Amino acid sequence: MFCSSSECKGEDKVIQTTGDVTATEGDAVTLNCMFETSYPSPYLFWYKQDVHGPPKYMTKSFSNTVDKAPEFDNDRFDAAIEDKSVPLKIQKLDVSDSAVYYCALRPTVTGNSKTLYKNLWSN
């Protein structure tokens, strides 16, 4: 069954509530992602898409576990499930973090993309 109306009941969905973000190199940001699902143990994903590139898998969150792709397997990135949200927290921003970030719910329901911009001013 396909359901395209916002009136549909019981549908799985993700909502990225953070608008475009502007931050300074070295800062920390949190990109929000709320989700609704009838699945008792949901899997939530974050993807990063650089300009002119395909989306890259970043993290998979489920239960109390966060699995990270090798490129993002460090303390700068975290995406733990908190109730009905899975915020992506990025510490110590770098120029390479400027991208579009997608949140997805298994089996792949994506929300609106949010772009992370950074000012490159030195403080």
40-68 residue pLDDT tens: 888 999 999 998 899 999 999 998 899 99
> Using alpha carbons only, what angle is made at residue 23 by residues 56 and 99, rounded to the nearest 5 degrees?
20
Domain extent listing, the chain = 13-119
Partnered with residue 34 across adjacent β-strands are 15, 85
Q: pTM score, two decimals?
A: 0.77
The domain made up of 13-119 has a fold known as Immunoglobulin-like (2.60.40)
Pair type for strands 21-24 and 114-119? parallel
Structure tokens at 90: 């990025």
Predicted local confidence at residue 13, as pLDDT: 87
| Three-class DSSP category at 54 | coil
The reported pLDDT for the residue numbered 10 is 58
Check residue 108 and give left, alpha or beta (phi > 0: left; psi -120 to 50: alpha).
left
